[in-house]
A and B are shown apart, each in its own frame.
Chain A
């Protein structure tokens, strides 16, 4: 550990902008004890998008401050979008520093104050950032003990810490608080921190259920989201949008918009906006712009999509292989070939992409609803030419992200407009814009050829996935001959997606789990074995076996082979280091094809669970949101034109859809904590699909299971 005491603001350890940043940081926050650390875990580095690897600085970043009033501030580039880390990270901090939970303040997503972070996604906060934070906090505690030892005149070994107070165990009157140690100081410590092997069993705060710390603000309307900020002279902007992706502006007449009272038209090439202090005047003006476009659209729509995907010239890659598919086929008594389809999905957060930008002197400040404040900072630098150190991005509460707010176009738009107008500019995407510029979950096709021997053991598994990516494509079952081949878009030769795509809660795992678990069910049914028993028979993974047994117990499962007519389905999978198993019970209205999920149970092994209350909320949220991709959600489009641009056409889960939900979190206190925000969503589609089969004998190969598709599948059953 390097220790430095520094009573001036002059910091010379490293040069360049980080140095400046730290200076302004200390200035902004005043006195106290500052701890700097290197917030990089191997896991986090691996997950960085290549373009952001630039910021993999070896420098130390500001991390925590113990203020003169004893408040501990934790600085993280992560953001709060509902997933609850504002609570769980504070719990972890309180734990390691031995301070009361109430004394911990989270400062999140501010590029001037917080250490670099690529983005809040991939269920990385608890498993990636968390261990670093805890290790650094433990070191910080050691620093405080050193200081106390000097002040109290007794060795560290004789000291005890409780609730932010350090006491001499031999003389309890001889004590000092963190606040007193921080008083009048501007002390900086630099830590070379590595996550420590930990004794999770001794935790005070971690592992106990804590309610959200942000709920009072949120139930009173006081929580500030980006759109709630208001600055003097602020303008609201609306931007001219093309009618479809790929359309290019040919000619434009803005005179109609210019006539609207209080509206100014801003133009920089094809970047055209109207701005007004009155949002509704901007709304009125934008539709008065007359524009013509040239179209160069892809000849694909939601009906031809899957053929289009298979015909595209893609890049193939063998993700994993074991044994030999040919040899495996020879061992099979029965083989099964299936093709599964998964559409584009929208993220549809209730808060649309929003940003407010203001230029003060040569400094640009942008508030944005984003999952990636540092990514937006990069984007602004790239697209506006501002130097990085002059751009500050601040992320207030985010009204839902689900992966979609990793994209930050609205922030760049606001930045450009602030530069062009010299005034603060608010960009709030309309719902229509949100559904148009969303980076959709990519549609995909999965083909599986698999086979079982006479005793119902899977001997061969040949898995091919187009465009959906490999997350969640692990075979998970113990198959001697297995191969996974992935085909991805070759944008230069054969672009596939007519619009932007990106990660959607547990990216692509929903599709891969749907395909794998449907295929498993097909084989179980053909073997005449109960689907739970068939899974247990083919698994060697203890965690998965435990999850399946736990969910079966919670559900009160009684073995039977499918289709049993009961409407019960099973599915399992792995995401973000967490093991998940689901059981669903459904009812199918055979006249209308409508599926109602009656109940759903989920068991999850997520290692140590930091906040059981928060984790449970995430599981329930995943299971509920998962009903959407399972039953209704599908982007409909014609070329680059998106037809589902409202909640009337893109239907997300409602109260009446709600099944009875039962969750089990397996007690794994001795294990490192894993992801919690995404895993429980992955097996909803598969469990419901398998339940439809169990109820009716009709197998669905395409999500979502709309009434139309269910009726079609039922018709096929009758015909055969």
Chain B
């Protein structure tokens, strides 16, 4: 099954349908290492198009935080991704824009790819969260969190490594608005030009990689469906399937 997944991933052919796309990969560019795994978006979009009904834009959109059009560009993108492994410093004005973005419906996915327990990125991003949302605290996902079931049913939070067995998030108006991962799940997608994965997943190897990829797809599905899978109508089915699963 996993092999099939990878083969399809390599072979999929794109039809550009940007104008009616519902998902755009939008990444934030800032001073520092903002793009540690540059081309993974292609594989993510491929697999989304292949396995779900989501229409995706094939080109990545990069929003430069220092651009004078930063706020406007952000206002056109309901979901943005922030990656990094080093310190991230934003001005007060940029923080205010991000706060306003989130309050008005935007969702941010942040990943610390440093793989360090105590990283500069982690310290600075948590400081940033406090500045964006001083009134809210980071929460930890439980096994029944919507992010664990928005498309694939998952029981564990993983990545290339497992630094935390949970995702962290800030909730506003009953929805996770900032989702924060420390397990470097984005690197599970990175491949070389021959299609071979660049980074080994530890300790669970390929099964861990597959689960991490599914978790990342769940986060994207969440950005388009919200807490849909928490609706009561789904619960009996989800419970039944969880019972049927062979672990």
A, B co-complexed: no
Query: Could you tell me which B residues sit within 8 Å of A by CB distance?
Result: none
